[in-house]
Amino acid sequence: MISTTPNRNLRSDPWADDADEAGNAPIKRLTRDEAQALVARMPQRISPWWVITAQAVIGVLVALATGLLGTAEGVFWSALYGAAVVVVPGALMARGMTSPLTSVSPGASAVSVMLWSMVKIGVSVAMLMLAPKLVQPLNWPALLATMVLCMQVYWFALLKRGP
């Protein structure tokens, strides 16, 4: 007689501490001291708001420096607007991603990342398209250079976080 049920090695206690079917060792519970040592070795979490604040500070400093050193008209406002093109969409995404609704389930979290990424890209593109109308006279090199410098803050956040 042929059995239609798969041959499974069922145990009476599925939570027993012996090795599993694949031969993996059982999971060992950590003591309080071991858990604290593990947490101390983990990389530091960087708040998205820290990154947004650092981008804003860098953007304002670059705008001030270009305003003081630049001889072209509109350099200060172009650089400041370039910082805003990075900071405003980043702040929108950070606000959306830190919402309690994003941590309801892994699926909601994944959808939230995609949604807020699209919002961030859309707002960035819209701000760049509006730049010639909002900033008069517009200095594209100052705007783009400030954007690049503000975006480099992400690398410094990773360096601050550690290995």
Name every residue whose Cβ is closer than 8 Å to that of residue 121 and which is 6 or more positions away in sequence.
89
Q: 64: which 2 tokens?
A: 């001030």
Does residue 23 form part of some domain?
Answer: no
The percentage of the chain sitting over the pLDDT mark of 90, rounded to a whole number, equals 49
Does residue 30 form part of some domain?
Answer: no
Does residue 145 form part of some domain?
Answer: yes
Does residue 3 form part of some domain?
Answer: no
> How many domains does the chain contain in total?
1
Does residue 93 form part of some domain?
Answer: yes
Does residue 17 form part of some domain?
Answer: no
Q: How far apart are CA 42 and CA 33, in angstroms?
A: 15
Q: How far apart are CA 53 and CA 17, in angstroms?
A: 48
Confidence of residue 100 (pLDDT cuts 50, 70, 90): confident
Question: What CA–CA distances, in Å, run from 44 to 81, 99, 157?
Answer: 32, 21, 10
Average pLDDT over residues 61-70: 92
Q: What are the DSSP calls for 42-93, one per residue? A: SPPP--HHHHHHHHHHHHHHHHHHHHHH--STTHHHHHHHHHHHHHHHHHHH
Confidence of residue 8 (pLDDT cuts 50, 70, 90): low
pLDDT digits (tens, 9 = 90+) for 27-56: 788 889 988 888 777 777 788 999 999 999
pLDDT digits (tens, 9 = 90+) for 134-151: 999 999 999 999 999 999
> What is the span of the domain harbouring residue 105?
48-154
